[in-house]
Amino acid sequence: MKIELTEKTALVTGSTKGIGLAIATQLAESGATVAINGRSQESVDEAIADITRSTPCAQLIGVVADVATAEGAAKVREQLLEIDILVNNLGIFGAVDPLEISDEEWLRYFETNVLSAVRLTRAYLPDMMHRGWGRVLNIASDSAIVIPAEMIHYGMSKTALLAVSRGFAKAAAGSGVTVNSVIAGPTHTGGVEDFVYSLVGRDLAWAEAEREFMKQYRPQSLIQRLIEPHEIANLVTYLASPLASATTGGAIRVDGGYVDSILP
């Protein structure tokens, strides 16, 4: 199976590290011109250098903007008038006692994890529909279905993202554009390492800390380890390709078997 994205342009939000960087890298390896997005010029430049080291022929565009804000989304739209693939990856997470989550934090999580995707989809979907081809992919989480007790505000935002994806897929029905969400399971990133240590303590070596975290907080995982970012990128790259033309309106799982249900 060969994935060919030459002549396609993709925007991956929050793509300077972690899952976003892995997705951007694989899309570039598949031939797409990829817009790398981050909040600072330094982080964007570092990500571009990182991808270029592994893929010297990569076609990359730097887009510095905070897409968690309406102003940032507008700035992206000004720089990228037309794209074929939109990957709404930007997200924040963190452990907080449910009874101590402030109104401001509830709103910040919704603004960052949900409205950022809504604004950019609203900006780019009409043109995709007019051209008769496009891909919108929203990076959700197992937390959308199995709400974690230590971060219900995060789970809420990812549940909302599933609804957003399904709704925009209906809006694009029959147009040749697909809209899907990707349910990513517990994934090994720098931010997740900090999160794991905050829960199990920092006196453990990483391998032991990971095992303890999976045992205590994610025992449902069938692979019994954290997923690596490139494993998420594998699925996203397929869904972004012409090969996935009949997959839309879905919540596609790459969760290591974490979600204990048959559907989605």
Active site residues: 154
258 in Cβ contact with 187 (< 8 Å): no
259 vs 145, 250, 254, CA distance in Å? 7, 15, 10
Q: Do 148 and 220 touch, CB atoms closer than 8 A?
A: no
User: Tokens 């994935």 label which residue?
Assistant: 3
Is there a contact between 150 and 203 (Cβ–Cβ < 8 Å)?
A: no
Residue 79 has which token pair?
Answer: 């720089």
Number of neighbours of residue 2 by Cβ within 10 angstroms: 6
Whether 19 contacts 46, CB under 8 Å: no
Q: What strands lie across the sheet with 85-88, from one edge to the other?
A: 59-64, 33-38, 9-12, 85-88, 134-141, 177-184, 251-254
* Nearest alpha-carbon partner for 167 in 181, 185, 154, 182: 181
* Tokens at 80, concatenated: 């990228």
Q: How many helices (H) and strands (E) does the chain have?
A: 9, 7
